[in-house]
Structure 1
Amino acid sequence: VLVTCQDVGQCIKVCLPCAPHRADNRFGEQRALAPFCPAPPYLSPPNTHLFAWLLKHAFIGESYEAGPVVARMSRCWSLLVLLAVAVSGTREDKITYQGAQLLRINITSEEEQDIVRALEDSDDVEAWNGLAANSTSVDVLVLPENKDKVKESLVSSNLTYDVLIQDMEAAIQEENPMPSDEEIAELEGRKGHRMTWQSYHRMQDVHGYLDWLAQSYPKLCSVQTIGNSVEGRPLKVLKISSDKAGSPAIWVDGGIHAREWISPATVTYIINELTENRHTHGDAVQNVDWYILPIVNPDGYEYTHRTDRLWRKNRSNGNSGGRCAGVDLNRNFAYKWGGAGSSHQPCKEIYAGSSGFSEPETSAVSNFVLSKKDQIKAYVTFHSYGQYILYPWGYDRVVPPDYKDLDRVARKAAQAMYKAGGSTYTVGSAATTLYAASGGSDDWAKGSAKIKYTYTIELRDRGYHGFVLPSNYIVPTASEGLAAIKVFAQEVQALK
């Protein structure tokens, strides 16, 4: 257990199967041990609720007649209590961004672009949206210890800047007000799941929702685990079936970058609309098979909730500590891997990994999509932020032969998004419109899997909140994402 489990929740699941059906407890009741093992909270340590749960249930075996099975149960639970104590003693402290600021540096010349590039390379700032093509500004996160130095450097270089977020930690604390335990319990009892789209939810809620859909709509929905993350978390894909042979399919994913919380929230909102409100969206969405992976990077996503809200990469080599852990999964796909816009230095945010598909998350996506490549006609991956609809290529400022058709459909989607929520989305090829990014999933889907319509959608906003988009923006943003998805559904059905 100690060797194979990645967190206490998984260790508990190892022990639960050892609860056999056993009669004749000391009260003379005919019942199984299993009912005495309630489902544990699947939360990563440190977790005081989990520790209390373990203390409550650890020695349940002592209530039964002595025997080898009971002894195993008792030892199993005792081990978990010791494990919980050990984990709580070796926890990672939650990173605070108190005093950190988000600056928007204004750029008016190529000379000023060069100054900003040098600043990014110095590691005194972290670029949030990169130095985009033809950009007039760049957003950078500045930690408190670098704040005075960076501002003095900007002033001495005659660069102006605006402070978008005065205190990053305050913004993080205000981003995601959670309902009370009582409200969540009431919701779960009424609806059967915990999803609200009024808050950003943990992985367990998202996966629980997918499982609930599969149980509630077995003819429409099914769940498949296509692989596991570095730390052993499942990569769960929901299939929403058209129930028609030969239907085209669309792949949708989110959460490849851990800190982009609006992405999984948008994808799960789309799932909700394509299932529980299916008949309100027309025939187009019903005549397509959907394969949807809400969280490509579950380890990183959970890490943003429990340790570092602004973490980007996966958690490969997590024990190396600090920013040198992890791989940027959207630089790890094996089409034009390792080129412009990626890094071979592990401590960089855009570290591409040791090779294409070195990470289990990207490898799992590749294997699954390739197994369906003759059916999948559109590949849509949601990110944030900036409000862009981007098509290949991202590895260089060139375009595929059918770029005019890709552009036409993207502009149609942008119009639909504007009508749905009022946000303006910029359309264009990725490297030309934004910046070069080799090893991206969209380039791989187009270049290797040969999928016709391939898009990256960078959701809201344009920088005033950046990655820390308050949860009251979930529904407006996700409604725009749904509008784009409906356009893609129409287009794939028009293909000959």
Structure 2
Amino acid sequence: MSVWWVLLALSCLSFSAGLQKTNRYEGYKIYEISGKARSLSFSETLNELVKNASYYEVFSGFNGGNPAQIMVHPHEQVNFVQLMDDNNVDYDIINRNVGLTLSRQFETNQMLRQWFPYNGRLGTERYYSHEEINQFIEDLAVKYPRRVFLKTVGRSYENRWLKTITITNGDARRNKNVILVDGGFHAREWISPAAAIYLINQLVENLEDNADLLQDFDWVILPVVNPDGYEYTQLSADTRMWRKTRQPSSSNCIGTDPNRNFDFHWNEEGASDDPCDDTFAGAKAFSEPEALVVGDLIHSYADRGQMYLTLHSYGSLILYPWGWTAAVPDTEEDLKEVAEAGKSAILEATGTNYTVGPSTTTINYAASGASDDYAFNAGFPISFTMELPFGGTGFDPPASEIDRIVKETWVGIAAMARRVIQKYPLA
């Protein structure tokens, strides 16, 4: 542990009195249920239980046999424990007060912003705002005018600019193959834009080490798909777990799940038509300007695009189509081959074991209207959702874990990209 992290831990003690105030998640607990409990009857019981979003939220299901993690409202914890006992299901409490955890993290993040102001670079010391991320890629375009190109591709509902960065090797060759990457679909998954930033840094600043990744391929990266939601989660501990966009619906509820809003099997299995649900598919396909931007990007590069990668959190998963059905594509072996390259590289480098597989059957639920299915159907032969590792209460690794997670993620992305380059050479 570095000296400054020790100092930070000590300084946080001074906030302890202020952290005791009640917030939205005060007294919430996160329970972990063993993957051994995945009997059909219990899974069905659990699925019915967690439909009550006022009291339950599933952070991860029985992903590839992994434990399920569920956040439970204080008023429902006795009933939840009784259900576990009645079904002879073992469980652990992995967080006894989510509100307290989020409050501490909020205070820490506020201090880190003061200690590490934006200075022309984005490191791994803290999480950065959408404005800082946009400024960073703008600065890179100025610093490397022959290799880095910026494009404004749209605006969010709250009028924040969505910008892509295109990274090349500077040889000015046209019509290269493309790898398209995005992050920050779900607002609370801060580690996703952080991983996209680290990816950008590696490709831009370390050209010599990564020349093969840019020889016949250009990389197009949209670091934050959902900037309105992302900024909303940074306002307070109360808003930290927000997932959706910020466009109001016809009801009193706000936001749509942008990763259920794509016009491919829209609003089918695994999406909700209730505007108050976290998986609300929207009033119509592409109702969200942020999802429409990604859809346009996918179509813009579909003729040259060889891999689409969307970064999410959490679960240590590399998922490929389909998400709308338990069926798999005819080219599953190609998808699996590339995903396994990333899994093997991460395991060898860090010991973290990723699970690879088709989305629906690997995570045990469908997710229709998602971007990876849309990109695959549009013509990208390789299309993945990469769920980064667990941290904090699940979606919120503390700043001290950013460096480890993003470096590990880069290892996997680079390995998958190299396999894609082998499989799909420039014609």
TM bin, normalised by shorter chain, reads 0.7 to 0.9
Cα RMSD, aligned residues only = 2.3
The answer as to 2:269 corresponding to 1:340 is: yes
| Cα offsets for 1:55-88 (capped at 9, x unmatched) | xxxxxxxxxxxxxxxxxxxxxxxxxxxxxxxxxx
Q: Which residue of 1 aligns with 2:45?
A: 115
Q: Is the 8 A contact 2:341 2:419 kept in 1?
A: no
Distance 1:458 1:354, change over 3 A: same
C-alpha distance 284-181 of structure 1, shift in aligned 2 (>3 A): closer
Q: Quick one: structure 1 residues 467 and 180, their matched pair in 2 at CA, closer, same or farther if it must change by over 3 Å?
A: closer
| Whole-Å separation in 1 of the counterparts to 2:114 and 2:387 | 35
Matched, 1:368 2:300: no
Whole-angstrom CA distance in 1 between matches of 2:370 and 2:387:
14
CA distance in 2, matches of 1:180, 1:261: 15
Shift in CA distance, 136/207, structure 1 to aligned 2, threshold 3 Å:
closer
Instruction: Give the aligned partner of residue 239 of structure 1.
Output: 166
SS of the equivalent of 2:24 reads coil
Contact between 1:171 and 1:468, CA under 8 Å: does it hold in 2?
A: no
One of 416, 419, 442 as aligned partner of 2:372: 442
Per-residue deviation at 1:137?
3.6
Q: Does 1:104 align with 2:42?
A: no
Q: For 2:372 and 2:140, how far apart are their aligned partners in 1?
A: 28
3-state SS of paired residue (1:454)? strand
Task: State the Cα distance separating 1:347 from its structure 2 match.
Answer: 1.2
Structure 2 letter corresponding to 1:152: Q
SS for the counterpart of 2:162 is: strand
- Deviation track 1:326-379 (CA, whole Å, cap 9, x = no partner) reads 111111111111111111111111111122111101111111221222121110
**Equivalent residue for 2:282?**
353
1:83-232 equivalences under 5 Å are: 96-106=24-34, 107-123=37-53, 124-130=55-61, 132=63, 135=65, 137-175=67-105, 177-178=108-109, 179=111, 183-185=115-117, 188=119, 192-193=120-121, 195-232=122-159
Which protein has the larger Cα radius of gyration, Structure 1 or Structure 2? 1
- Quote the Cα distance in structure 1 between the aligned partners of 2:396 and 2:213: 33
CA displacement at 1:201 relative to structure 2: 1.3
Q: In structure 2, do the counterparts of structure 1 residues 173 and 280 end up closer, same or farther at CA, with 3 Å as the change threshold?
A: farther
Identity %: 35
In structure 1, how many angstroms separate the alpha carbons of the residues matched to 2:87 and 2:113? 52
Match of 1:327 among 256, 261, 283: 256
Q: Specify the SS of the correspondent of 1:414.
A: helix
Q: 1:244 to 1:489 in 2, by over 3 A?
A: farther
Does the CA-based 8 Å contact 1:108-1:136 persist in structure 2? no
How far apart are residue 247 of structure 1 and its match?
1.6
Please state whether the residue corresponding to 2:402 is helix, strand or coil: helix
Gaps of 5+ in 2: 1-21
Letter in 1 for 2:51: D
1:410-449 matched pairs, under 5 angstroms: 410-434=339-363, 435-447=365-377, 449=378
Q: Is the aligned partner of 1:314 residue 2:241?
A: no
Q: Secondary structure at the match of 1:305?
A: coil
Segment drifting more, 406-415 vs 271-280: 271-280
Does the 8 Å contact 1:131/1:138 carry over to 2?
yes
Partner in structure 2 of residue 393 of structure 1 = 322
* TM-superposed deviation, 1:204: 1.5
Deviations 1:253-297 (A, max 9, x none): 000011111101111011111111222234224542111001000
Indicate if the aligned counterparts of 1:175 and 1:469 stay in contact, CA closer than 8 A: no
Aligned to 2:19: none
Q: Quick check: 481-490 or 470-479, which moved more?
A: 481-490
Q: What CA distance in whole angstroms lies between the structure 2 residues aligned with 1:181 and 1:261?
A: 15
Higher mean C-alpha displacement, 113-122 vs 205-214 = 113-122
Output the CA distance in 2 between the equivalents of 1:261 and 1:368.
22
**Structure ranking higher on relative contact order (CA contacts 8 Å, 6+ apart):** 2
CA distance in 2, matches of 1:208, 1:352: 31
For residue 77 of structure 2, give the secondary structure of its aligned residue in structure 1. Answer: helix
How far apart in 2 are the matches of 1:408 and 1:278? 26
CA distance in 2, matches of 1:169, 1:196: 28
Over 3 Å counting, the alpha-carbon distance change for 1:237 and 1:152 in structure 2 is: same
Report the Cα distance in structure 2 between the residues aligned to 1:433 and 1:380, rounded to whole angstroms: 17
**Amino acid across the alignment from 1:143:** H
8 Å Cα contact 2:112-2:126 kept in structure 1:
no
Alignment of 1:275-314 (within 5 A): 275-307=204-236, 308-314=239-245
Q: Which runs of 5+ in 1 are unaligned?
A: 1-93
Query: Counterpart of 2:208 in 1: which secondary structure?
Result: helix
CA distance in 1: counterparts of 2:251 and 2:115, whole angstroms: 39
Letter in 2 for 1:233: R
Q: What is residue 408 of structure 1 aligned with on the other side?
A: 337
Return the offset for 1:150: 2.7
Question: What secondary structure is seen at the aligned counterpart in 2 of 1:251?
Answer: strand
| C-alpha deviation, 1:320, in angstroms | 5.8
Change (3 A) 1:250 1:469: same
**Letter of the structure 1 residue corresponding to residue 73 of structure 2:** L
Deviations 1:83-132 (A, max 9, x none): xxxxxxxxxxx953221111113424222112211211233211111354
Inter-partner Cα distance in structure 2 for 1:459 and 1:253:
13
Contact 2:116 2:125 in 1 (8 A): no
Residue type of the partner of 2:285? G
Contact 2:113 2:126 in 1 (8 A): no
Give, as a single letter, the amino acid of the residue that structure 2 aligns with 1:342. A
Q: Measured at CA, do residues 182 and 129 of structure 1 come closer, stay the same or move farther in structure 2, by a change above 3 Å? A: closer
Give the structure 2 partner of residue 486 of structure 1: 414
Provide the residue aligned with 1:77 in structure 2. none
Corresponding residue number in structure 1 for 2:4: none
Does residue 377 (structure 1) correspond to residue 306 (structure 2)? The answer is: yes
